[in-house]
Amino acid sequence: MFRTIDISEVEDIKSWIRERLRKSEEVKVLASKYGYREYMIARYYEMLGSWDEVKELLNAFERRLKHSIRCNTLKVKDCRHLVERLEKLGFKLKEVDFWNLAYEVVDEVRSPTLGSTHEFLLGMYYLYRGKASLIPPLILNPQQNDKVADLAAAPGGKTTHLAQLMNNKGVILATEVGRERMRALRNNIERMGVRNTVLMRVDGRAVKYFLKGYFNKVLLDAPCTGEGLIMIDPERKIKTSFEDLMKWHESQVDFLNSAIETLNVGGYILYTTCSIAPEENELVIAKILAKRDDVQVSTLTNTPIELSQGFTEYFGLNLPKDVSRCGRIYPHIHEMEGFFLCLLEKIK
């Protein structure tokens, strides 16, 4: 057992974790069998606490996800009409159990593809690789008079979902820095009939300089390693070194710190990643809480599924107890891509 220490007392988190990564025979065997970097397997054991559950996670990452679609009520008055049209084309749909305007595609046809139907091109639905991306907008729960920022918005699934929940009222600022990603975002905004959203090609971290304290709700789906998307992109088993992972951690702390500045007092920011890595999630939140006294972790409300709790200890690092209010989606537990969510409230 490692001795435990408060994370605020550790200057070099990267060295602390690296020195404690398990180098056991089980790690080597599973890394070789499933094709992962060894440090990832060691971390999964630290997170889950048993080799049996580690294997359950690894096996879940081997299963392909079924596509999901979100019926776009900005364009479709009755979603049953959309279902009927797609089923006539040969698709078989099943209502997503946690939201009745989304459907899992149980069976697909070779032609047309889900991304080339007339219904898709008309903006009647948004296409997802998995169901987890539906959850953040439902938790943020924007109202029609809200001022919302989506600070890493491309390709637009969450932005268009937010606009749908707001019934095209209020205002959304959606930012994206990459030219090609902005093109995808703009295309989806136009296709889906979104009218309450301003697009800005800028690094979301710069918004604090001209809209400080303006928004009452912010979504930061932070750029990350995508360690929850291995079933979609198996290359992520080996793509990220431990050193690269910790670079992502520093970038995410910087991004979240900047994003908080755009929030007004009493407002909420939902920090999410498509990663199950604590380095990109709980450790980011812990570092923010250590640096700032104007935010607190809020209880996740409007959660459409039961989330796994955030960690309050990791490789002997004691994290703030409130981090347990954050939530995680595991492929082997929730049968969807890995995801992390944490709601912060601006208190002063």
Q: Which residues are catalytic?
A: 274
**Neighbour tally for 15: CB within 10 Å:** 11
CA dist 99 → 108, 140, 142 (Å): 21, 15, 16
315: left (phi over 0), alpha (psi -120 to 50) or beta: left
Q: Cβ contacts of residue 275 below 8 Å, gap of 6+?
A: 224, 225, 226, 227, 228, 281, 338, 339, 340
The β-bridge partners of 107 are: 92
| C-alpha span between 51 and 57 (Å, rounded) | 10
Q: In what order do the strands lie in the sheet with 92-95?
A: 92-95, 102-107, 68-71, 125-128
Query: Would you say 128 and 101 are in contact if contact means Cβ atoms under 8 Å apart?
Result: no
The count of other CB atoms within 10 Å of the CB of residue 105 is 17
Q: Which two tokens stand for residue 175?
A: 């930012």
Rg (CA), the chain: 20
